[in-house]
Structure 1
Amino acid sequence: MTSAIDSPALPGDLAVVFDFGRVVFDWQPEALLARILPHRVGSADAAAHWVAQVFQSYQGDWGDFDSGHVDVPTLVRRIAQRTGLAESEVQAVVDEAPLSLLPLPGTVALLQRLKAAGRRLYFLSNMPLPFAEHLERSHHFMAWFDGGVFSSRAKVNKPAAAIFDHALDQFGLPAHQLLFIDDHGPNVEAARTLGWNAVQFVGHDELERELIERRLLSLQD
């Protein structure tokens, strides 16, 4: 593990680490299930119910999928047995989910500006392996990143400390030289506890202001 150094990084000297879901890529599980399972998702309450059942707050079966400990057939079988959904229904959701991860234009524009400004870019994302491979194949801006960690390859999910330690090893940088951006509060707090700079993503406008304040972007970039 790369050890952190207590002295702070200079303003503008941080590498920027992005979460993916709801930060770089849109993720709307309620809309996904309503589209794939319209016979089951006929209301907002039904959508919330089935999102909880299928994704389990990204713990349980789906958490094992995120961390690379189960493959797609095992996931489909486990969710079907647990929820009463047909395996064909679960398979349809799993097949469609990566296709619904569409880039968020505002964040992609910030990535482009950061890259043009010479900033080092990394990612740290809870992501099942088939989804990660789809993103790598499908989006040209994945080449803008200097490196990254997917939970399914690290075999551990955020907010566990082990994935942040693994990321330090992969990036070759100490925690204090990284700015981590994630939409999920517990992940942000975990990073801060481990000495990372971290901010919670609420939108690309707010993130732009944060990056300018930290001298990672200027108004001219």
Structure 2
Amino acid sequence: MTFLFDIGKVILDFHFEPSLAKLLPPGTENGPERLSVLLEKKDDFEGGRISLAEYVPWAIERLGSAVSDEDFVHAWRNIFTPNLAMWRVIESLAAGGHRLILFSNTNGIHCPWIFENYEIFRHFPEAVLSYEAGSIKPEPEIYHHAIATYGLKPQETRYIDDLPANIETGRTLGFRSWQYDLNDHAAFERWLAAEMMHG
């Protein structure tokens, strides 16, 4: 079987704000507002519409902080924790010879860094990453890109993502989709068991 896996809130949990908040100057009163401005442009960054060289200086300027590019990149990366329950599933699927493909909105700060620092990604020789594809989920373009690049048959492809809008596009295009909830991994396991039985 072929599986499309989202990364954030599926393979890795993440929390942007606590890590980025450490970059704000001490005593910053409008910290949450400054951080939300950064995340507003994240879609453009992840969609490949803003380059890494453009985004980092812009973001540091918006923070109003004297941090270095290196400090910013470190904070931007230091947001992840492994979802070990899903890691065990991935290990099992890989051992069973299933085809595993990453399908993620991400950026040039997180990639290839996460692939080098989290061993689970060795099971994903193929990937569709938004900043390389030039579009982001839930835009249909990135799904069509995945289908064309990897010769996918949506009705035979299992797609796991945490965001309702992404799942909705997946279902519209015929993927066998599951909206994953980090707080209810057992529900995913039940869905997966049923999918494996029906082939």
Written as runs of structure 1 = structure 2, the 5 A alignment for 1:21-170 is 21-37=8-24, 39=26, 48-56=32-40, 61-80=41-60, 83=62, 85-86=64-65, 88=67, 92-170=71-149
Q: How many residues align?
A: 196
Deviation at 1:98, TM superposition (A): 2.0
Distance 2:33 2:180 in 1: 26
Check conservation: 1:119, 1:216, Cα contact below 8 A.
no
- Determine which structure has the larger strand proportion and give its number: 2
Distance 1:38 1:209 in 2: 47
Check conservation: 2:17, 2:35, Cα contact below 8 A.
yes
Q: Which residue of 1 aligns with 2:186?
A: 205
Deviation at 1:141, TM superposition (A): 2.1
Partner SS state of residue 215, structure 1: helix
TM-score, normalisation: structure 1: 0.77
Unaligned residue ranges in structure 1 (runs of 5+): 1-13
Partner SS state of residue 95, structure 1: helix
Distance 2:67 2:181 in 1: 35
Distance 1:164 1:130 in 2: 22
Deviation at 1:162, TM superposition (A): 0.8
**CA, structure 1 residues 36+86, in 2 after alignment: closer, same or farther (shift >3 Å)?**
closer
Measured against aligned partners, the alpha-carbon deviations of 1:97-128 in whole angstroms (never above 9, x if no partner) come to 22322321111111111112222211100110
Deviation at 1:41, TM superposition (A): 7.0
Distance 2:150 2:173 in 1: 15
Distance 1:211 1:74 in 2: 41
Distance 1:169 1:47 in 2: 42
**CA, structure 1 residues 47+69, in 2 after alignment: closer, same or farther (shift >3 Å)?**
same
Deviation at 1:176, TM superposition (A): 0.9
Partner SS state of residue 179, structure 1: strand
Percent pairwise identity: 24
Partner SS state of residue 21, structure 2: helix
TM-score, normalisation: structure 2: 0.85
Out of 9, 12, 15, which is 2:2 matched to? 15
Distance 2:131 2:156 in 1: 25
Root-mean-square deviation (CA, aligned residues, Å) is 2.6
Distance 1:41 1:184 in 2: 32
Distance 1:71 1:120 in 2: 31
Check conservation: 1:114, 1:216, Cα contact below 8 A.
no
